[in-house]
Amino acid sequence: MVKLKRSLGMPWWREWPLLLAVVTLLLAIEGKAWVAGALNDPPLLVGLLVVLCAVILIAAIAIVRHADVLAHRLGEPGGTLLLTLAVTGLEVAMVTFVMATGKPKPMLARDTMFAVVMLVLNGLMGLSLLLGGIRHREQSYNLQGANAFLVMILPLTVLGLILPNFTRDTVGPTLSIFQMIFLSVMSLAIYGIFLFVQNRRHKGFFIFAEESASKVHVDDSEHSSHTSGYHSLMLVFYGLPLVLLAKHMAAPLDAMVNRLGAPEALGGFVMAVLVLTPEAIAAVRAAQTNQLQRSVNILMGSVLASIGLTIPMVIAVSIYSGRSLVLGLDPVGMVMLGLTLVTSMLTFSLPKTNLLLGCVHLLLFGAYFMLMFDR
What pLDDT shows up at residue 202? Answer: 78
How many distinct structural domains can be found in the chain? 1
DSSP for 200-234?
Answer: IITGGGG--HHHHHHPPP--GGGT-SS-HHHHHHH
What pLDDT shows up at residue 336? Answer: 96
Rounded Cα distance, 284 and 251, in Å: 33
What pLDDT shows up at residue 177? Answer: 92
Give the structural domain span for 172. Answer: 2-373
Rounded Cα distance, 175 and 327, in Å: 8
Q: What is the pLDDT of residues 191-217, one digit of tens each?
A: 889 888 887 787 787 877 655 544 444
pLDDT mean values, one per 10 residues, the chain (375 residues): 40 78 87 78 83 86 78 67 71 74 79 92 95 93 90 93 90 88 92 85 75 46 66 81 78 76 80 80 87 89 88 88 88 95 94 94 95 81
What pLDDT shows up at residue 3? Answer: 41
Helix (H) or strand (E) holding 353: strand 352-353
Let me know: does 312 contact 184? Beta carbons within 8 Å.
Answer: yes
What pLDDT shows up at residue 230? Answer: 81
Rounded Cα distance, 348 and 28, in Å: 45
CATH number at residue 193: 1.20.1420.30
Pairing of strands 139-140, 352-353: antiparallel
Q: What is the pLDDT of residues 110-152, one digit of tens each?
A: 998 999 999 999 999 999 999 999 999 999 988 888 999 999 9
